[in-house]
């Protein structure tokens, strides 16, 4: 019996349906960090009291969850670890001694990168974008120990802060490279490995080519029990474009848009792919996905890549009040969804995206979705809900009341007391 070490790299073989269609296959293979395959769960929609889920039941819509929130423990759970399996294999092959990456203050990607880096012996350096950067520097505020930041700090990440304005002025890639240069000049590390925001590049996005192959194999198993089963729509959140690129390209190739097809797709129409953007604009995501597709070596003339991407996925504007900001309606949806299904969504990605899709996209033409099977690819991020504790407190107090047990009869007649004496 052999035991896997987290830093053992394995050769990566493209799925047969992608062979010859993506030519820049990561040469250093992948690590095995994630718990795969992640399961698919059917969500109960006939739930009294939940208006949105009841609406799905009225339209005879079945919704399934691909549970990529279950890719790892609390340190790694979420979509980012699929990318990190390829990115960190590349870093180790290049004999790097540190990783530098960037994201928002409650970045799931930064937390997963920090934990995974420690697992394979690399030092994590995180650039966190926060409007509190100056206040934290002046010690009038503390960065704190909440949600993702708690786990960033538990694995000993070196954290650098910048404001949104500074982030926008220099750009994320420039900031990452400058910190890498600083580490080399200061002789802190010899060779830091830069990872852009979200791990969204050609190397990382192969994690979701692998993820699509996993999904297609699961569909093939479902079809053995129910030959007519198929998916009509696949929905997911996008914030940096890498997951969106991998899923969109993967599904298109698996359904034979450029030649070979996965057996599970034969005789089936390709599902409609919906990416709900939680920041930026749809055009930004189309262009980002096209750039990533080129990095992956898609077998198309360069002038045709953007058209192929636009034909593969519909990007919806779902950012609401903006990245990391939640409306009361979004937070209410997250709490009601967990009450009805037991599944935790997060306020930045999965909760915002699913809320927008079900309340806006679907309701623009509900009959187009009647009698359909929808797969929501749950990309994780539940630690982000910790930051919203104060905003949720009133709702949670009424939804989950706290009652004192009295076993001695000393509190007779008091409210919020269960008398067991």
Instruction: Give 307's contacts (C-beta < 8 A, 6+ positions apart).
Output: none
Percent of the chain with pLDDT over 70: 99
Q: Give me the domain span that covers residue 129.
A: 80-199
Mean pLDDT, rounded, for 139-157: 95
Domain identity same for 258 and 317:
yes
Domain identity same for 92 and 70:
no
Domain identity same for 242 and 359:
yes
pLDDT at 3: 60
CB 129 within 8 A of CB 323: no
Count the domains in the chain: 2
3-class secondary-structure state, position 109:
helix
Assess if residue 5 is contained within a domain: no
Domain identity same for 112 and 127:
yes
Assess if residue 6 is contained within a domain: no
Question: Is pLDDT of 167 > 60?
Answer: yes
Instruction: Tell me which of 140, 168, 199 is where a domain ends.
Output: 199
CB 51 within 8 A of CB 359: no
Average pLDDT value over all residues in the chain: 94
Q: Is 107 a catalytic residue?
A: yes
Assess if residue 364 is contained within a domain: yes
Domain identity same for 171 and 283:
no
Assess if residue 420 is contained within a domain: no
Assess if residue 402 is contained within a domain: no
Q: CA 201 to CA 333: how far, in whole Å?
A: 32
User: With bands split at pLDDT 50, 70 and 90, how would you rate the model's confidence at 419?
Assistant: confident
Domain identity same for 182 and 300:
no
Assess if residue 3 is contained within a domain: no
CB 235 within 8 A of CB 276: yes
Q: How far apart are the first and last CA of the chain?
A: 58
CB 122 within 8 A of CB 146: no
Instruction: Tell me which of 168, 199, 230 is where a domain ends.
Output: 199
Question: Is pLDDT of 293 > 50?
Answer: yes
Domain identity same for 241 and 281:
yes
345-to-218, 232, 291 alpha-carbon distances in Å: 23, 22, 29
Domain identity same for 285 and 169:
no
| Count of C-beta atoms within a 10 Å radius of residue 14 | 17
Domain identity same for 110 and 235:
no
Mean pLDDT, rounded, for 56-72: 96
pLDDT at 61: 97
CATH number for position 342: 3.40.50.1100
CB 412 within 8 A of CB 404: no
Mean pLDDT, rounded, for 378-400: 90
230-to-64, 158, 265, 270 alpha-carbon distances in Å: 11, 46, 8, 9
Instruction: Tell me which of 167, 199, 231 is where a domain ends.
Output: 199
Domain identity same for 375 and 360:
yes
3-class secondary-structure state, position 51:
helix
pLDDT at 2: 52
pLDDT (tens digit per residue) in 7-24 = 788 999 999 999 999 999
Assess if residue 365 is contained within a domain: yes
Catalytic residue (choose from 2, 5, 62, 107): 107
Assess if residue 414 is contained within a domain: no
Q: What is the pTM of this model?
A: 0.94
Mean pLDDT, rounded, for 74-83: 94
Domain identity same for 271 and 351:
yes
Domain identity same for 256 and 146:
no
């Amino acid at each position: 019996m052999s035991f896997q070490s987290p830093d053992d790299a394995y050769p990566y073989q493209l799925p047969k349906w992608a062979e010859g269609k993506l030519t820049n296959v990561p040469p250093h293979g992948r690590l095995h960090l994630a718990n795969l395959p992640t399961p698919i769960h059917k969500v109960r929609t006939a739930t009294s009291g939940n208006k949105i889920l009841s609406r799905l039941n009225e339209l005879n819509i079945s919704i399934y969850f691909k549970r990529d929130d279950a890719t790892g423990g609390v340190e790694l759970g979420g979509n980012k670890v699929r990318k990190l399996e390829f990115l960190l294999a590349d870093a180790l092959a290049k004999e790097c001694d540190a990783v530098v990456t960037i994201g928002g203050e409650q970045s799931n990607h930064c937390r997963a990168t920090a934990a995974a880096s420690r697992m394979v012996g690399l030092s994590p350096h995180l650039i966190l974008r926060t409007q509190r950067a100056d206040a934290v520097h002046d010690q009038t505020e503390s960065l704190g120990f909440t949600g993702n930041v708690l786990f960033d700090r538990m694995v000993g990440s070196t954290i650098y802060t910048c404001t949104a304005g500074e982030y926008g002025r220099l750009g994320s890639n420039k900031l990452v490279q400058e910190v890498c240069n600083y580490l080399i000049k200061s002789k802190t590390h010899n060779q830091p490995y830069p990872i852009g925001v979200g791990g969204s590049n050609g190397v990382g996005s192969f994690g979701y080519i692998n993820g699509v192959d996993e999904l297609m194999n699961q569909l093939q198993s479902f079809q053995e029990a129910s030959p007519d089963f198929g998916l009509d729509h696949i929905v997911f959140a996008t914030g940096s474009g890498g997951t969106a690129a991998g899923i969109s390209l993967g599904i298109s190739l698996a359904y034979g848009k450029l030649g070979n097809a996965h057996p599970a797709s034969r005789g089936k129409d390709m599902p409609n792919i919906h990416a709900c953007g939680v920041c930026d604009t749809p055009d930004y995501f189309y262009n980002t996905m096209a750039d990533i597709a080129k990095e992956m070596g898609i077998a198309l003339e360069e002038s045709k890549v953007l058209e192929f991407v636009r034909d593969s996925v519909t990007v919806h504007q779902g950012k609401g009040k903006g990245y990391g900001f939640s409306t009361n309606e979004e937070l209410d949806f997250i709490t009601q969804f967990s009450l009805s299904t037991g599944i935790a969504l997060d306020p930045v990605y999965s909760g915002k995206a699913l809320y927008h899709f079900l309340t806006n996209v679907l309701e623009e033409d509900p009959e187009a979705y009647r009698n359909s099977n929808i797969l929501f690819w749950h990309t994780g991020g539940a630690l982000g809900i910790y930051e919203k504790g104060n905003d949720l407190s009133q709702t949670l107090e009424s939804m989950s009341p706290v009652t004192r047990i009295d076993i001695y009869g000393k509190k007779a007649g008091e409210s919020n007391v269960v008398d067991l004496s």
